[in-house]
Amino acid sequence: MSAFEEPLEEPQADRGDRRGIALLTVAHVANDANQSAIPSLLPFLIGHHGLSYAAAASLVLAMNLSSSIVQPLFGHWSDRHSMAWVIPAALLLAGAGAASIGLAPTFPLMLLGALISGIGIAAFHPEGSRYSNYFAGAKRASGMGWFTVGGYGGFALGPAIVTPLLLRFGLHGTIFLVIPGLILAGLIVRDLPRFENARAHAHATRHNVAGTDDWRGFWTLSIVVAARSTVFLGAVTFLPLLAIHVLRASLGAGEAVLTAMLVCGAFGTVYGGSLADRYSRRAIVTISLAGAVVFGLGIALLASYHVPVVGLGICAGLFGASIGLSAGVIVVLGQEYLPHRIGIASGVTLGLAVTIGGLFAPIFGAIGDRYGLAAIFECIAASATLGFLCSFAMRPRRSTISG
């Protein structure tokens, strides 16, 4: 067995609940469509309100700060109390906050809408990932992979839905973002007994399995997650702007490049989860970040030479597939480092560590204002390099989660 490999056998087989995973995956689509709506709004807000790159990127920061800081708190509470009801409530809050950004007449109100949406997103992710863990049974990486695909699907569909709405209705078209959350919230409320049964089953089948919390390993993972989130959020925020302002693509083409990255990322996430259940979690993370370094530099190079936007879209797709390999795996790793604190593990890997990624959005924006948008992707590749190097320090870990 190599230094990257960990034993992957579960103490008992459990095929899980595919319907529960499917419902949470679709809910994740609706939730993260709100999250990707903000980067998709930036070109329109810049054009309509005359915002600078740094000011526009502050909306991404506001959303991520509120989301990331609150997520560990929800994770801590959910380790002590059953909070499945938070999932539908969060969907409603996330949609309402995102919708208000386009309706806001002033920049402070835009920031407020981003903060509100971030709180809704924060409430959704710890509980959503917890119940995905319960529904997945023994194949936790695969189950978390599908759940994470919902996030990528939301990121991909957000621009594809929001851009036509904005082109047709102007900034007021964001009001339609409320509708998916309303529908999914109703479906989940109807199925809340199913969620409670899944939690009870997980407690009954896993609570006697040995496993200790490895905080040192978990914080090493958190550094990797922070570097990865900087890479991902930076690309999501600035890839459309690079296509539009550097390669002179249309607004629709700029959003299509982002969609290509996210759709390929979704495929990478499913494949990464499947590989991680068969081989090593840590190796998948390392390979993922190595690919992000290569293709992040590729995007910067293509922008410097002003290649056609189709070429940028291909490179963005490869970048997305690479970074997507580790999306679900890092959450499962966090839960395995803290098998008795999976709410906190989910909240930190999905939230607090991601705050650092959000903090870099305005910094990247300032770099773009001064040195050009291609320089941002050179910095993104540097962040991926940091995560790649730190991934070698991650300690082997495999345990069954207590719930």
pLDDT for 297 equals: 97
For residue 383, name the pLDDT band (cuts at 50, 70, 90): very high
What rounded mean pLDDT belongs to the chain? 82
pLDDT at 403 over 50: no
Mean pLDDT of 5-23: 61
pLDDT at 124 over 60: yes
For residue 78, name the pLDDT band (cuts at 50, 70, 90): low
pLDDT at 320 over 60: yes
Mean pLDDT of 245-273: 87
pLDDT for 399 equals: 46
Q: Between the CA of residue 250 and those of 59, 60, 243, 317, 320, what are the distances in Å? A: 23, 22, 8, 19, 21
pLDDT for 400 equals: 47
Lowest mean pLDDT among 68-72, 215-219, 374-378: 68-72
pLDDT for 82 equals: 65
Residue percentage of the chain with pLDDT more than 70? 85
pLDDT at 336 over 90: no
How far apart (Å, rounded) are the C-alpha atoms in residues 261 and 273? Answer: 18
How far apart (Å, rounded) are the C-alpha atoms in residues 57 and 71? Answer: 21
pTM of the entire predicted model = 0.72
For residue 94, name the pLDDT band (cuts at 50, 70, 90): very high
Classified by CATH at the fold level, domain 18-391 comes out as Growth Hormone; Chain: A; (1.20.1250)
Residues near 229 by beta carbon (within 8 Å), at least 6 away in sequence: 353, 354, 356, 357, 358
Range with the largest mean pLDDT of 89-103, 329-343, 357-371? 89-103
**Structural domain boundaries of the chain?**
18-391
Which pLDDT tens digit goes with each residue over 267-281? 898 888 888 878 888
Indicate the SS3 state at residue 234. helix
pLDDT at 74 over 80: no
- The per-residue DSSP string of 66-81 comes to HHHHHHHHHHHHHHHS
Considering just the CA atoms, what is the radius of gyration of the chain in Å?
A: 20
